[in-house]
Structure formats: C-alpha cells, structure tokens
Amino acid sequence: MPFFVYILYSTLKYRFYVGYTGDELSERLRKHHSKHKGYTGGVGDWKIVYTESFETVEEARAREVQIKKWKSRKKIQELLSKN
C-alpha cells in the first residue's frame, strides 16, 4: 500500500497545505472539501498541486515534516517548479 505526501493550494486562502495519507488522493481531497472545523474546512477550492509516493508511512511522515519545517512559501514554490 503506497503512502503519499501531498501539497494542496487554495486560491481563496492564497495558502498551501502539506499533508500525508494512506488513502487514495481523491478520497483525501474529498475529506478536505467537506464541512469540518479545521484549516482546510469550509473553503472547498483546494487543488492537489504536488504529490510524492512512499513505501512506508514513516517515510511519508518524515517527508511531510521536512516540508513543513521549511515554513517557506518560496521553497514550496521551488519544489513545485521542479516538478
């Protein structure tokens, strides 16, 4: 079972969201679009702009943490431009 690190982008919020999942990406995106309390809830325009696939949940989680530690819109945009 593959695990994914993904980056979402919202034009309404002008923000990125970084996450990981073992779900199908379409299902995970559906959950982000649902009405829930949380960072991605209630906006509904999130788009998957980047994904990476990993063999284990540990690898995916480590990569998610690495990207989140950047705390840099510029570095995320550089990653997207390389893809």
Sign of CA dihedral 78, 40, 48, 59: positive
What is the spatial distance between Cα 78 and Cα 54, in angstroms, rounded to a whole number? 21
pLDDT of residue 58: 97
pTM of this structure: 0.91
pLDDT of residue 33: 84
Give residue-wise pLDDT tens across range 30-46: 888 887 788 888 888 99
pLDDT of residue 38: 82
Structure tokens at 30: 């559906």
Q: Which residues of the chain carry a pLDDT beneath 50?
A: none
pLDDT of residue 82: 87
Domains and CATH numbers, the chain: 3-82 (3.40.1440.10)
